[in-house]
Chain A
């Protein structure tokens, strides 16, 4: 009899502990989430861009005035050294640990190891081969966010001397020339002259992730989009761009439209932004 009661007590104990553990296991799901981030310190300089408006480039925005609120943006792309700091604090984002949901297998493939930057790049080179999810996580960890397409395009209208150089043929030519340079992502940031606002390397170094890159629906990947969008790129796509001479912008949108958020690309990096 004694034994029986002991048995019952033990049985209950085991069952209870079992339930407890089950509960804990379920709760662990968010706890291991790569989105729960340790904060990272950064002293990267940010510049304030006064809000305004610009002429939209594509589709429904083509020829439409797009309003942009004032915001802050990093003066240059995030570097290997800065990204390394982020990885040290957030190992769930290292190459060997990152979730396949958030990065394809090209993620940081050029790094020597989880915490060693590529041989052929410098600590002050822009970090590349990072997915949109990783860029977003980095931005969050430093208390910032990714810029929107409109913010990026608005800030990138400036040449060295004016806020809006979009009407200058030589500026377009400068951008197109810079797009033809190869391997610039292996060089250090801030070697070129900054633009009117003091922003470096918007052109000719890396393509940059934006928060809403997936609002560009121009590639085969946007498969069977809803009807409003058909005019965007099918047949006469280029004709909907507001300014046919602005082939450079067209290239950027085409690039964005071809991306998926888990893609990691050799010459695709990012910089962060922030509300004022």
Chain B
């Protein structure tokens, strides 16, 4: 009788845990989650991925292009500052993501080279590219504007975005200035909540 009771309790417990799991995995369906975007992306290792593959991580993201000589190096420097500001963090829980607005030029080789050049090494660093249409769509989700102004130059908004572990946009930093404390605070908050 006792054994039966334990059995019953165990089963219930497992079922409960199970349904909780399901809840967690299906929240990528959040009405505001960018993980609804079904576009195909390629990272610096030439691996194909979906945005939903970032599910479960707190994400910091900026849209740049590797041949950029003006604003992007400053945006990249800010990302570096943000990463420093996080102090000791679990690289499994964070993704620092650069997204190319020049997918034709930014091949996986170029993206990897760019990351290495900036000492962006480790599983938490990602550089993504997609096709032009999906890139523009993603930019629109972030309210990022950009325009190709010559074969090698783009003008673009300088926005760094933070996403919760469920892909919901929670914070955007606009413009170029060196103060990253607010955005660092937001990332830390997201990490605590995740």
CB <8 Å contact, B18 and A226: no
CB <8 Å contact, B157 and A261: no
Q: Which residues of B contact A214 (CB under 8 A)?
A: 136, 139-140, 144-146
Pick the interface stretch among B23-31, B87-95, B114-122, B186-194.
Answer: B23-31
Interface residue from B25, B140, B150, B156 paired with A133 (Cβ < 8 Å): B140
Interface residue from B11, B38, B72, B141 paired with A33 (Cβ < 8 Å): B38
Q: Which residues of B contact A21 (CB under 8 A)?
A: 18, 21-22
Kindly identify, within residues 11 to 46 of chain A, every residue whose CB is under 8 Å from any CB belonging to chain B: 11, 14-15, 17-18, 21-22, 25-26, 28-30, 32-36
CB <8 Å contact, A14 and B70: no
Residues 75-118 of A, flagged 1 when their CB comes within 8 A of B and 0 if not, give: 00000000000000000000000011100000000000000000
Interface residue from A11, A33, A132, A225 paired with B157 (Cβ < 8 Å): A225
Provide the bound-state CA to CA distance between A223 and B149, in Å.
18
How far apart are A60's CB and chain B's nearest CB, in angstroms?
A: 4
Provide the bound-state CA to CA distance between A12 and B191, in Å.
33
Given contacts A15-B14, A215-B145, contact A228 B155 (CB under 8 A): yes
Q: Which residues of B contact A18 (CB under 8 A)?
A: 14, 17-18, 21
Provide the bound-state CA to CA distance between A101 and B142, in Å.
10
CB <8 Å contact, A224 and B174: yes
How far apart are A35's CB and chain B's nearest CB, in angstroms?
A: 5
CB <8 Å contact, B70 and A227: yes
Question: Quick check: is B50 within 8 A (CB to CB) of the other chain?
Answer: yes
Q: Which residues of A contact B25 (CB under 8 A)?
A: 22, 25-26
Q: Which residues of A contact B149 (CB under 8 A)?
A: 59-61, 228
Given contacts A22-B21, A101-B31, A226-B70, contact A215 B146 (CB under 8 A): yes
Residue in chain B with minimal CB distance to A32:
B29
Q: Which residues of B contact A60 (CB under 8 A)?
A: 147, 149-150, 155
CB <8 Å contact, B145 and A25: no
Question: Quick check: is B176 within 8 A (CB to CB) of the other chain?
Answer: yes
CB <8 Å contact, B145 and A216: yes
Main SS at interface, chain A? helix
Q: Which residues of A contact B39 (CB under 8 A)?
A: 35
Provide the bound-state CA to CA distance between A35 and B40, in Å.
12
Quick one: which of A4, A18, A215, A217 has the most chain B CB within 10 A? A215
Residues 117-153 of B, flagged 1 when their CB comes within 8 A of A and 0 if not, give: 0000000000000000100110111011111111001
Provide the bound-state CA to CA distance between A21 and B55, in Å.
17
Question: Quick check: is A174 within 8 A (CB to CB) of the other chain?
Answer: no
Q: Which residues of B contact A228 (CB under 8 A)?
A: 70, 149, 153, 155
Q: List 27 A-B contacts (CB under 8 A).
A: A10-B11, A11-B10, A11-B11, A14-B14, A15-B14, A18-B14, A21-B22, A25-B26, A26-B25, A26-B28, A29-B29, A29-B35, A29-B52, A30-B50, A35-B39, A99-B32, A100-B31, A101-B33, A211-B136, A212-B147, A217-B157, A223-B157, A226-B71, A226-B158, A228-B70, A261-B141, A262-B140
With A36-B38, A211-B133 given, can you name 16 additional A-B contacts, CB distance below 8 Å? A3-B3, A3-B7, A11-B14, A18-B17, A18-B18, A21-B22, A28-B26, A29-B26, A29-B28, A33-B37, A100-B32, A101-B33, A132-B140, A217-B147, A222-B145, A225-B156
Residues of A that sit less than 8 Å from B by CB:
3-4, 7, 10-11, 14-15, 17-18, 21-22, 25-26, 28-30, 32-36, 59-61, 99-101, 132-133, 136, 145, 211-212, 214-217, 221-229, 232, 260-262
